Amino acid sequence: MEVKILTQHYDKPEYKSLDGYKKYDGYNQLKKALTLKPDEITEMVKQAGLRGRGGAGFPAGVKWSFLPKNNKTRYLICNADEGEPGTFKDREMMDKAPHQLIEGMIISAFAIGSPKSYIYIRGEYFESKKIVEQAIKEAYENNLLGDNILKSGFSHHMDIYSGAGAYICGEETGLISSLEGKKGQPKLKPPFPAVEGYLANPTIVNNVETLASVTVIIRDGVDGYRKHGTEKSPGTKLFSVSGNVVKPGNYEVPLGYPLKDIIFNLCGGLKEGRKLKAVIPGGSSAPVLNAEEAMSVNMDYEDLASKGSMLGSGAIIVIDDSNSMVELLKVLMNFYHHESCGQCTPCREGTGWLLKLSNSILSGSANLNDVALLEKVASHMKGKTICALSDAAAFPVLSFVSKFKEEFTSYATSNVALKFQATNVQSYKRG
Amino acid sequence: MFTISEKTKKFITKEVSRYETKRSAIIPCLFELQKDNQGWISNDCIESLSQFMDIPSKDINEVFHFYTMFNKKSVGDFHIQVCCNISCHMNGGLDLFKVLSDEFKIEKNGVSKDSLAISKVECLGSCGTAPMMQVNEKYYENLTKDKAIQVIKDLIASKKTN
Amino acid sequence: MSGKNEDLISCSVNGKTISVPKNTSAIKAFKIAEQDIAHYCYHPGLSVAGCCRLCMIEIEGNPRTQIACNTMVTEGMKINNQSKQIKEDVQWGLDFHLLNHPLDCPICDQAGECGLQDQYMKFGQYKPDMNQKKVKKAKVVSLGEKIVLDSERCILCSRCVRFTDEVSKTHELGIFNRGDKSEVGTFNGKELNNDYALNTVDICPVGALTSKDFRFKQRVWYLKKAEAICTGCSTGCSIYLDYNEEGFFRVRPKPNEDNNSYWMCDEGRDLYQHLNKEKRLVKVYPSKKVSTSNFAVSSSSSSSSSSSSSSSKKAIKYLKSELENIKDSTKIGVLVTGQYSVEDYKEFFSVLKEKNSINQIYHWFDQKNSKNDFDDLLIRGDKNPNTKGLLEVAKDMSLKVIDSSELKNTASNLEILIVLGPEYKKFFSTIDEKLEYFKQALQVFYFSSVKLDSLDSISNVTQIPLQSLVERGGTYINYKGLKQKLSILPQVIPKILSFSQIAKVLNGEKIQLEPLFLKTQPVKDNQFSFQKN
């Protein structure tokens, strides 16, 4: 069963508009929040145990508390540069409930004392951008944004900024570089954005879902929020399920929900006659799980970590036995090679190396040494760079090769049993 | 030589004052110039923008080359971008790309007679509705081969009637 | 300040305890501790990029390895780069750098001073697994008059880009595209011709940016380097001169935090040309009077019997005797530029003062209106390295300094005009005007290391060669009073009198004809070096 906390009213088209949103309790949490002390809100978010929903899973309240006590202008940035392959939840959240995000942002801005926020939205999301722009306009017209919001004395301005096609801008410092009008190259840490971020000002970057969840925490209180999920991974989470399932889509379930139930109950399982082969549980950068692991894992930060993977952005990519893991790895390597910003040498060169090696293994021109080399290259790309893209390219390689070794070996030893290539040409799913 | 229209100059001036630093206006302004220049950015566009914004041309060129949504050559009236990343791939994205490329013959300059350009692209955040394509600003999801061809044919036809 | 302890902190680098100033980066601490650390993108004169990922270190108590360039040392910090893990990281880091590098070392002019070669020799793993095709990029791209770019060799350390953004602030260079298609370049064929452009060649750790002037002239392992100062303006940047027995080939900045930091201007790099044969005054060009005198100096010095030093000696003896005949010291003019050392001035002036009662000098200075110009980096309007030194010496010796334009009124009264001529002609805009004054004086004795062709047609001028400034050595005082010592370097042209020898001859002393510092060898065939044209 889904537990619809964030997505409760997503089926109502009017929820998109301010009036519709207000009909369902909209902006009442802002009114409530404005009567609290900012620190109280931060403390609530901390106590609620809300962890970043964008990928890294860092506790949001803790991040906020890293802000230095100085007079610099603080910025809040909503990371809506959804780009992790497999992920499409932020888009739905913005399309169906833009005010939920805006309300969460105003509350968060109040909590951290920020007069200005940006929603950095990925460039391809033209439709979402229009919807959010309209919602911001409505909010300004109703004194929910601007000076002296609802006569509280708190002023906050919000703007939207469109990306232009770069996965790396989903990394928070890459996003900040991009917002500053530069190439979206991640910045050296330290300093961390909370200390020196946007234009060297203290900056908090949070994901769409994270910020929207702040509203829920205000509404339900710490205990109410913690009613769902596990002790260490409280709350609900939107999972984007894609790949070889009958009913792909976004599903909101409490953290700790069994992956097998998501696949086989909520998503209607696999197509007739197919068997589960593997699942990537947290977006393409998360290490892959084999079928056995997938069937036993619960979708929370801790249980996934114990299986050597991660929750990431909550994008579940379900892979059935019609797929060649070698081919899928090549697809992913193509992606990371395309998206490496080119700044750090191990990533810039390594992603290309991984792609070339995957290609030669797939084409049957490689030998066992090349499979070993693939792993060696990947292992030397981990933890060596400014941001985690290099790691994100290495994780799939290491997990794909170690968990599907025989498949890689067979490509590298026989004259490529091309059975996978033959079976992989599928008819269109909903054709 | 490309010259920035008065309308776009106004746009640029507004964007420059919109953000804390004028550099932030580079991306929105490149989008605007791309619209003015039949869907792509030429060196002339960059040079003019550099002069108008008083920002070194290499800074603008760095931004231009970094982001995939800025086109280095003409993409015709309809830029068809087929996602071939993992979830789409598992649902026939690559096949769809090949079918469309065969159906709408792309000439050497990268554009078909009907003014179409077709690109293979990375994840567009529509994985639950794979396979999908983006035509200019719009997403077309849950595609089949026939459906995709029809969408494009309709677009071409609507252009002709307009 | 109560002393050391407040400004210094102690830390341990590879087990060696050292004290470093507060706000020292770990990579600097490695240098202070004289411990090897691989790196490409770090440069002390530029911002931290942290992109080559080679200066990996372990910090005790921190589970993650860090880069030394972006780590600030704190009190008691223990850092090392000696673990197996770090060494392996660096080996792989180097292999990543070489993955798409063309390895065209045999035809690369950086060979011998290449960061890739040097650091691979020191830290590499020597069993590379690279077996894939390399990414092709642009080669031999001309970036204007001065520099050639080879982007395949480029390792994208971004030093050159940071230089043009942060130091020269001219913003020509960028890194375009992303991933392994990233390429350094200028926008749309723009040229890299700013006043400091050649610094990018110096800081390029590989053969991606090379100097058109220097490339393929010499393999660097046939060059020696000497420390010197640039005499192109009153900043007096510290420099290295690269030379061998064939002459001087290149000028590079020598780091000097008190003056020029890590940089120098491109104009100063022409210095070496003035030191080489091609531009030098190598023999005496006697005036009509001198060639027919008792001390007759032959003008056809090409004959092997006549050496430059003996003919110089004759010409100076003649000058001495002529000077002795003049009783009124106001009939003797001394015209000097600010291009000579304090020692040069002292030696020369003291003889003239004692023997000939000279009490004034004419100062040839052609940047009166621009002398205080400054480009906010290094280039100053006063194009003389030692204007301050000249004025100080004159003051100490109670010599009156007269502006050289005054010669307009006095030249025709002069029986002898002695000139210490300009070494950089291009900074002396009034040369033509001065030539007119020369014609008005009865006799002119023109000393210089550099040949000024327009003098040849003036019949009353005797040209006497001087050693070049690096052959003479000496002290120069820059615009802010910084005294810098120029050490004496090997002679390019043998048998030219030194300044003190000239002074001795003028003083009537005996000198040995063989110059003191003749270290050069005759040019011999060198199968590895290219013929200079």
pLDDT digits (tens, 9 = 90+) for C231-269: 999 999 999 999 988 889 999 999 999 999 999 999 999
Confidence of residue C306 (pLDDT cuts 50, 70, 90): very low
Backbone angles phi, psi at C446, to 5 degrees: -110, 115
At A53 the pLDDT is 95
pLDDT of B111-151, one tens digit each? 999 999 999 999 999 999 999 999 999 999 999 999 999 99
Instruction: Kindly state the percentage of chain C with pLDDT values over 90.
Output: 79
Name chain C's partners: 3 or more CB pairs within 8 A: A, B
The candidate with the shortest Cα–Cα distance to A104, out of A10, A207, A26, A213, is A213
Interatomic CA distance for residues C318 and C313, integer angstroms: 8
Q: What is the mean pLDDT of residues C304-313?
A: 68
Whether residues B58 and C190 touch (CB distance < 8 A) is answered with yes
Q: Region B78-91: what's the mean pLDDT?
A: 97
Q: What is the pLDDT of residue C6?
A: 66
- Residue A72 confidence (pLDDT) above 60: yes
Q: What is the mean pLDDT of chain A?
A: 95
A88, A94, A209, A334: best mutation site toward chain B, by most B Cβ within 10 Å? A88
List the single residue in C with minimal CA-CA distance to A357: C132
Q: Which option is the CATH number for A239-320: 3.40.50.10680, 3.40.228.10, 2.40.420.20, 3.10.20.600?
A: 3.10.20.600
Which are the contacts of B53, defined by CB distance < 8 A and separation ≥ 6? B12, B16, B22, B25, B26, B29, B60
Residues C471, C491: Cα–Cα separation, whole Å? 6
What was the pLDDT predicted at A415?
56
Tell me how far apart the alpha carbons of residues C172 and C179 are, in angstroms, rounded to a whole number: 21
Distance from CA of C93 to the nearest CA of A (A): 6
Percent of chain A exceeding pLDDT 90 equals 95
Architecture (CATH level 2) of domain A325-424: Up-down Bundle (1.20)
Comparing CB atoms, the residue among C171, C177, C190 nearest residue B59 is: C171
The stretch A284-312 carries a mean pLDDT of 97
What is the sign, positive or negative, of the torsion defined by CA atoms of A135, A136, A139, A141?
A: negative
At A423 the pLDDT is 42
Residue of B nearest to C179 (CA): B66
Helix H or strand E encompassing B118: strand B116-121
Q: Phi and psi dihedrals of C174, rounded to 5?
A: -145, 170
Q: Is the pLDDT of residue A430 over 80?
A: no
A240 with B23: Cβ contact below 8 A: no
Across the interface, whether the CB atoms of C180 and A340 are under 8 A apart is answered yes
pLDDT beyond 70 at C39: yes
Which candidate from A164, A328, A338 shows the least CB-CB separation from B70?
A164
pLDDT interval class at C126 (50, 70, 90): confident
Q: Give the mean model confidence (pLDDT) for residues A407-418.
A: 77
- Identify the architecture of domain A13-226 in CATH: 3-Layer(aba) Sandwich (3.40)
The nearest CA of chain B is from the CA of C190 a distance in Å of 9
> Residue C308 and residue B13: Cα distance in Å, rounded?
70
**Looking at chain A, which residues constitute the CATH 3.10.20.600 domain(s)?**
239-320
**Residue B2 pLDDT grade (very low, low, confident, very high; cuts 50, 70, 90):** confident
Q: pLDDT-based confidence at C221, cuts 50/70/90?
A: very high
For strand C16-21 and strand C8-13, is the pairing parallel, antiparallel, or unpaired?
antiparallel
Q: What is the mean pLDDT of residues C411-434?
A: 93
* Mean pLDDT of all residues in C181-190: 96
Q: Tell me if B104 sits within 8 A of B135, measured CB to CB.
A: no
Does residue C178 sit at the B interface (CB-CB below 8 Å)? yes
The residue that leads in pLDDT, C531 or A185, is: A185
Sign of the Cα torsion B14, B16, B17, B20 reads positive
Res C5: pLDDT: 58
How large is the average pLDDT for residues C520-532?
A: 39
Instruction: Identify the band that residue C297 occupies on the pLDDT scale cut at 50, 70 and 90.
Output: confident
| Secondary structure of residue C335 in the 3-state scheme | strand
Q: Which structure tokens are listed for A26?
A: 């909209």
Q: What are the sequence ranges of the domains in chain B?
A: 6-66, 78-161
Distance of alpha carbon C67 from alpha carbon C89, whole angstroms: 11
By CB atoms closer than 10 A (0-12, 13-18, 19+), residue A312 is buried
Residues A248-289: tens digit of each pLDDT: 999 999 999 999 999 999 999 999 999 999 999 999 999 999
Chain A: touching chains (3 or more CB pairs < 8 Å):
B, C
pTM, two decimal places: 0.93
CA-based nearest distance C90→chain B, Å? 28
Of A161, A183, A428, the CB nearest to B131: A428
Domains in chain C, start-ordered, CATH in brackets? 9-82 (3.10.20.740), 280-506 (3.40.50.740)
A251 burial level (CB within 10 Å; 0-12, 13-18, 19+): buried
Reported as a single tens digit per residue, the pLDDT across C439-486 is: 999 999 999 999 999 999 999 999 999 999 888 899 999 999 999 999
Q: What average pLDDT does range A224-248 have in this prediction?
A: 97
Give the whole-angstrom CA distance, residue A323 versus residue A124. Answer: 28
Residue A371 sits at φ, ψ, to 5 deg, of -65, -45
Residues 228..287 of C with a Cβ closer than 8 Å to B: which? none
Q: Is there a contact between A89 and A240 (Cβ–Cβ < 8 Å)?
A: yes
Tell me the backbone φ, ψ of residue C25, rounded to 5 degrees: -80, 155
Provide the pLDDT for residue B65. 98
Q: Which of A82, A114, A177, A242 is most worth mutating to test chain B (most B CB atoms within 10 A of its CB)?
A: A242
How far away is chain B from the Cα of A316, in angstroms, using its nearest Cα? 10
C181 to chain A: which residues are within 8 Å by CB? 342
Q: Complex ipTM, two decimals?
A: 0.96
Cα of A307 to nearest chain C Cα, Å = 22
Give helix then strand counts, H and E, for chain B: 7, 4
Express each pLDDT in C80-117 by its tens digit: 999 999 999 999 999 999 999 999 999 999 999 999 99
Residues whose CB falls within 8 Å of the CB of residue C530, separated by 6 or more in sequence, listed in order: C216, C217, C218
From the list A305, A312, A308, the residue with the least C-alpha distance to A392 is: A312
**Residues paired with residue C238 on neighbouring β-strands, in sequence order:** C229
**CATH class of the domain whose range is B78-161:** alpha beta
Give me the pLDDT at residue C523, please: 41
Task: Give residue A426's pLDDT band: very low, low, confident or very high (50, 70, 90).
Answer: very low
Query: What SS3 class is residue C285?
Result: strand
Tell me what percent of the residues of chain C surpass a pLDDT of 70.
Answer: 93
Is C529 a residue whose pLDDT tops 60?
no
Separation of alpha carbons B112 and B77, rounded Å: 10
Over residues C386-402, the mean pLDDT reads 97
